[in-house]
């Protein structure tokens, strides 16, 4: 039986690239959709927020002289593209999926509202929430925390290419030690980089636990939802 009944799954846009330099790898898209379907089949309510870094990042545009607000809105549109791609893949697998957005784009998606999202989740839909918070200067991590709190998720799952939180970057430091569990306060004290401070504080203040895990390993998502010790729990 699943340990968590309603989850907010955060996926990075970069993860959709697979081995490509940019854009969406169809194989990675299919893999993620298959893993998501596996927990939907167990009656887990799933809301998803995807980043847009595989297409465009507002901060990268600003570094080249672009106006930050304009760049952030472009980034929000990138998240809509990724969300539409995942929605299409899930629908191919006969998974009921609805797309909401922090920015209204008729006729592609409806505007995000708490009541609408919860109603769709209760009806068995996977709810993909695109468009960030709908405001510039906020990351998709912050959007994920916000949406997780809004829909009263049991947990926020952050799928990455690393299998948890370490004392240092495991890709650079072979002596880095992985945490199985860590408190919100310890993350602050030790300066561990999990997500931006606004997102992290939002989770802490609303007592929304976070699990960071390797989404690229097939079956990990189902293991996390079923309560197996995968990744790092921040609570």
Transcribe 184-200 into DSSP letters: HHHHHHHT--SS-HHHH
Contact 159, 215 (CB under 8 A): yes
Distance from C-alpha of 165 to C-alpha of 23, rounded to nearest angstrom? 27
Q: Which of 58 and 202 is assigned the larger pLDDT?
A: 202
So what's the pLDDT on residue 68?
A: 87
pLDDT at 171 over 90: no
pLDDT at 42 over 80: yes
Contact 82, 76 (CB under 8 A): no
pLDDT at 19 over 90: no
Give strand pairing partners of 10.
49, 158
Lowest mean pLDDT across 60-74, 79-93, 118-132, 154-168:
60-74
Distance from C-alpha of 231 to C-alpha of 23, rounded to nearest angstrom? 27
pLDDT at 57 over 80: no
pLDDT at 170 over 70: yes
The confidence band for 34, taking pLDDT boundaries of 50, 70 and 90, is very high
> Using alpha carbons only, what angle is made at residue 130 by residues 115 and 11, rounded to the nearest 5 degrees?
110
Distance from C-alpha of 199 to C-alpha of 142, rounded to nearest angstrom? 4
So what's the pLDDT on residue 60?
A: 66
* pTM for the model: 0.94
CA nearest neighbour of 120 among 46, 49, 51: 46
Contact 7, 152 (CB under 8 A): no
Contact 204, 18 (CB under 8 A): no
Q: Decide which of 3.20.10.10, 3.40.50.300, 3.40.1170.20, 3.40.1160.10 is the CATH code for 6-234.
A: 3.40.1160.10
pLDDT tens, position by position, 128-165: 999 999 999 999 999 999 999 999 999 999 998 889 99
């Amino acid at each position: 039986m699943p340990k968590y009944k309603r989850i907010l799954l955060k996926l990075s846009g970069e993860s959709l690239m697979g081995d490509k330099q940019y854009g969406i790898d169809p194989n990675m898209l299919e893999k993620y959709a298959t893993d998501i379907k596996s927990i939907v089949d167990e009656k887990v309510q799933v809301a998803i927020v995807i980043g847009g870094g595989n297409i465009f990042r507002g901060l990268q545009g600003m570094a080249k002289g672009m106006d930050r607000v304009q760049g952030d809105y472009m980034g929000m549109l990138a998240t809509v593209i990724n969300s539409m791609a995942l929605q299409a893949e899930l629908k191919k697998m006969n998974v009921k999926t609805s797309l909401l957005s922090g920015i209204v784009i008729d006729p592609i998606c409806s505007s995000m509202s708490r009541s609408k999202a919860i109603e769709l989740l209760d009806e068995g839909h996977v709810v993909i929430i695109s468009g960030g918070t709908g405001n510039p200067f906020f990351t998709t991590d912050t959007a994920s925390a916000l949406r997780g709190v809004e829909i009263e998720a049991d947990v926020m799952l952050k799928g990455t290419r690393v299998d948890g939180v370490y004392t240092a970057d495991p890709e650079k430091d072979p002596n880095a030690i992985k945490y199985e569990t860590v408190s919100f306060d310890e993350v602050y004290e030790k300066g561990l980089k999990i997500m931006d401070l606004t997102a992290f504080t939002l989770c802490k203040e609303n007592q929304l636990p976070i699990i960071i895990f390797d989404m690229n390993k097939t079956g990990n998502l189902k293991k996390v939802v079923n309560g197996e010790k995968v990744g790092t729990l921040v609570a």
